[in-house]
Structure 1
Amino acid sequence: MAVLITPIQVKAQASMASAASILMYHRFGEGKLPSTNIRIEQLEAHIALLTSGPYTVLPLDEVVVALQYGTPLPPNAVVITVDDAYRSFVTEGWPRFKAAGLPVTWFLNTAAVKSGAVGTGGGAPTWDEVRRLRDEGVTFGVHSHAHPHLPTLTPQEQEADLDRALALFEQELGLRPKTFAYPYGEADRAAMDLMAAKGFVAAFGQHSGVAWGGDDRWYLPRFALNEQYGAPDRFRRVIDALPLPATDVMPASPVVRGTPPVYGFTVTQPDLPLDRIACYGPSGKLAAQIVGPRVEVRMGVTPPPGRTRINCTLPGPRTADGIQRWHWRGTQFVVLP
C-alpha cells in the first residue's frame, strides 16, 4: 500500500535539511558568576570537539538564510553566539575561537559598552575593543539597549529601546545588524512583531532545541551553556541533537497570565516514535497526551512569576561511535502577575 505524504509533510521534510544547533555563551573564565560563565577548560574542550568531530560551524547569518528559504545545511551544523557586553569575550573567548577559525556572532546590549578607548580588568568592553573584533571577523546582532524585560514594556517602550540600540550600532560600528536576541530570552507577541517590522530576519530566545526551517523565525531556540550545562558529555548531546519538527505550536505567545498554558505541537516527521517522547518542566516529568502526530503537555499549576521552560525529547539514531542522539524541542514561558 502506498504511503500518502501531505503537502505539509513534503515542506517539512525539505525544511528538515535546514537545521542547526545554535550555541549561546555569556562570560568566559569568570568563575565567580557560574550561572552565566563557562570555564576556560570547558571552552577549550568544546572547541576541540567542534574542530575534530563531524561538525560544520557556520556563520549565523548563513544559517538564518538557510532556515528562511529551506536551503539544505550540512549535517551537524553548529552556530556560536555570545550574549551581553562582557569584556571576557574580548580577552578570553574570542582569541580562542579566532585561533580555531570558528565564526561567532556577538549580541550586544549597547548601553553596557564603555565609551573609553582602553579597557581594563573585567566588566564591559569599550567601543574601540568592539570595533577591533568587528575588524577581526566577529559579526553582530542586537541584544537591546538597556537589557530590559521586554514583556513588561509597552510596544512604544520596546521600540524606543530598540531604536536607541540601532542608532548606536550605526554610530559606533557603521552597521545595522539583521538579527536580535531577546534579553533573558523573554519575548511577547508585540516584541516579535516589532522585529519583523524593523526588518530583522530572525530573533532568538534562550530555550533549548535545534533550530529548523519550519520554526518561527522570530523566536528561534539556542542552547545555553554555562558551568553547570557546559560539561563535555552535555555539550556533545547538544551538538549531536536533532530537530523535533512541528507545526501548529501553541500557545502563540510565550507569555503566561493566570491559567497555566497547554503546550502543544503537531510533529511533521511521520517516522518518529512519539510513544517514546518525554517532556519535562520545572517540577519534573510532565504527562504528554499524544493523539496521532499531536503532542500536548499540561503544566498542571501556574508557576511563580518569572521564567519557566518545557523541554521535550525523544531518542533518535546513534552516532558512528555509539552516542545516542536526541530529537529536542523546548520553549520558555514568561509568567507575569
Structure 2
Amino acid sequence: MLFVLKIFRKIAIAVPRAGVRRIASAFTLGILSLSAFAAQRADAAQSAAVILYHRFGENDYPSTNIRLDQFDAQIRELTSGAYHVMALPDIIDALREGRTLPDRTVAITMDDAYRSIYTEAWPRLKKAGLPFTVFVSTDAVDRGGPRTMTWDQLRTLHENGVTIGHHSASHLHMVGASEKRINEELTRAQSRFQEMLGIKPTLFAYPYGEFDLAVTRQVRAFGFKAAFGQQSGAFGVGDDLFTLPRFSMSENYGDITRFRTALNALPIPVSDMLPADSLVSKINPPLIGFTIDEGIKNIDAIACYSSRSGKLDLVHLGDSRVEVRMKEPLTPGRTRMNCTMPSDQKGRWRWLGRLFYVPGAPD
C-alpha cells in the first residue's frame, strides 16, 4: 500500500490539477475495492464449516444414516485438494486465540457413538488421513448393544488421534431440565470419560441440538471450550462459541451438491440478534431480527426458511437491519431457521442458522 501511495504522489506532480482529481477519484475507488477484497479474504480465513453425521450404512435408519456410497463420494470431495480438514479442537483454539484459519476450513463430527462409526467411517477416514470428532453419551456405551461402540473401541479411536467429545450421560433433553439434573449429567459423564479413557473432553454437543440461554450458561460454566447444536450454518470470529452450527448429513440431505455447498459455506456476520434466547415462551411466533455487518453485499438477496413452514417473509429496515416474520405460532419442539445469501466469492453462499424451541412434547 505504501508503494502505491508513492506512485500516486509522483503522478500528482506531473499532471494538471483537474487530471489529479480524476486520478484521485479512481485511486480512491481502487483503494476501496482493495479493502473490500481484503475484508472478503479475511472473512474466508476466519471461518469454518462443520459436518455432522450419526450412522453409516445403517439403511434402516434413513433419517440419521448416510449411505456408504454417499460417504465415499463425500470423502473423495474432501480429499480433492479444495478443502482444509482440521481437527475440531484446533479450529476452536484458533478462533479463541484470533489466529487465521485456511480458506475452506472444514471439520467432521459424529454424534452418539454408533458402532458403524468404528466399523465403517473410521477405516475410510483413517485411510484418507482425515481427522474427526465423536460426541459420546456415556450411558448408552455403559448399557452396551450391537449398534453402540464399546469402551474398548472408543479407547482405540482415542489412542489413534480421534477427538472424543461430551454429549451428556443419558442424551438428555436439556431445555427445561433443572440445573441440578444437568450438572449431574455433565459430571457423571465426565467421570466416566476420566475413568474409561483417562480424558476430560473440552468440547460439547447438545443432545438433539437443543439449547437455551440457561443451558448454554451452565455448559459454559462447566468448563467446556465450545458447544455445538444441529442448526445449519458456518461460523467465524465473533460468533458465540457455545451455540455453534453444524451441517447435518443424512440419506435425504447428503447428495454431493448439498455437501459441496456446506463445505464452501461462509457465515453471515450479524449483531443485535433478537430474540436472544432460543426458548420460545410468551411471544409466539418469536420476533426475529438481526443487523448484518457493514461491508457485506447483496443484502437484498437474503432469504430465510423455517424447517416447519418454508420460506419466511422479510422486512428490510435501513441498509443493514433485517426482520423475519414467522407466518404462524411455532408448535412444541424444535424449529430451525436458515437464512442464506450469495457471497462475493463465486459459487459460495453465506448461511445463518437459528434454533427455536417451544416447551412441550419433544418432536
TM-score of the superposition, structure 2-length normalised?
A: 0.85
Pick aligned residue for 1:188 from 184, 209, 212: 212
**What secondary structure is seen at the aligned counterpart in 1 of 2:227?**
strand
1:303 match: 330
**Aligned alpha-carbon RMSD (Å):** 2.2
Task: State whether structure 2 residue 67 is matched by structure 1 residue 59.
Answer: no
Q: Name the CA distance, whole Å, in 2 between partners of 1:69 and 1:98.
A: 29
Select between 54-63 and 247-256 the one with higher mean Cα deviation. 247-256
Gaps of 5+ in 2: 1-24
| 1:15–1:67 contact (8 Å) kept in structure 2 | no
Is this contact kept in 1: 2:74–2:256, CA < 8 A? yes
Correspondence for 2:140 among 87, 92, 112: 112
Equivalent pair of 1:45/1:232 in contact (CA under 8 Å): yes
Is 2:307 the counterpart of 1:268?
Answer: no
Deviates more, 1:248-257 or 1:74-83: 248-257
The count of residues paired between Structure 1 and Structure 2 equals 325
Structure 1: runs of 5 or more not aligned: none
**Higher relative contact order structure (alpha carbons within 8 Å, sequence separation ≥ 6):** 1
1:332 aligns with 2:351: no
Change in Cα spacing, 1:290 to 1:12, as seen in structure 2 (3 Å) is farther
Q: Displaced runs of 4+ in structure 1, greater than 6 A?
A: 9-13
> In the alignment, does 2:320 pair up with 1:293?
yes
Give per-residue Cα distances to partners, 1:276-322, cap 9 Å, x unaligned.
11111121111111222111112132121011111100112454xxx
TM-score with structure 1 setting the length:
0.91
The residue matched to 1:151 in structure 2 has which SS?
coil
Which region of structure 1 is more displaced relative to structure 2, 307-316 or 63-72? 63-72
> For residues 44 and 16 of structure 1, what CA distance do their matches in structure 2 show?
27
* Separation in structure 1 between the aligned mates of residue 203 and residue 211 of structure 2, nearest angstrom: 14
Separation in 2, partners of 1:317, 1:237: 15
2:197 maps to which of 141, 160, 173: 173
* Equivalent position SS for 1:311: strand
CA contact (8 A) 1:17 1:71 kept: no
Give the partner amino acid of 1:17. Answer: A
CA contact (8 A) 1:312 1:329 kept: yes
Change (3 A) 1:16 1:293: farther
Q: Which residue of 1 aligns with 2:97?
A: 69
> Is residue 67 of structure 2 the alignment partner of residue 39 of structure 1?
yes
**Aligned counterparts of 2:113 and 2:265: Cα–Cα separation in 1:** 28
Q: Give the equivalent residue in structure 1 for 2:156.
A: 132
- Cα distance in structure 1, aligned partners of 2:329 and 2:173: 20
Helix, strand or coil at the partner of 1:44: helix
Q: CA deviation at 1:274?
A: 0.7
The question of whether the paired residues in 2 share the 8 Å contact of 1:28 and 1:93 is answered with yes
- Could you tell me which amino acid in structure 1 is paired with residue 122 of structure 2? W
Secondary structure at 2:343 match in 1:
strand
Cα deviation for residue 131 of structure 1 reads 0.4
Secondary structure (helix, strand or coil) at the match of 1:203 reads: strand
Among residues 70, 86, 101, which one is paired with 2:114 in the alignment? 86
Asked whether the 8 Å contact 1:28–1:37 carries over to 2, the reply is yes
Q: Shift of the alpha carbon at 1:115?
A: 6.8
Give the secondary-structure state (helix, strand or coil) at the position aligned to 2:107.
strand
Separation of aligned partners in 2, 1:138 and 1:333: 31
Q: Which has the larger helix fraction?
A: 2
Deviation at 1:55, TM superposition (A): 0.2
Report if the CA contact (8 A) 1:69-1:213 is conserved. Answer: no
Contact 2:46 2:100 in 1 (8 A): yes
Aligned to 1:102: 130
Kept in 2, the 8 Å contact 1:114–1:124? The answer is no
Deviations 1:62-85 (A, max 9, x none): 111122232111011100000002
Does residue 247 (structure 1) correspond to residue 274 (structure 2)? The answer is no
Equivalent of 2:52, from 15, 21, 24? 24
**Overall identity of the aligned pairs, in %:** 46
Aligned to 2:280: 256
Which residue does the alignment assign to 2:3? none
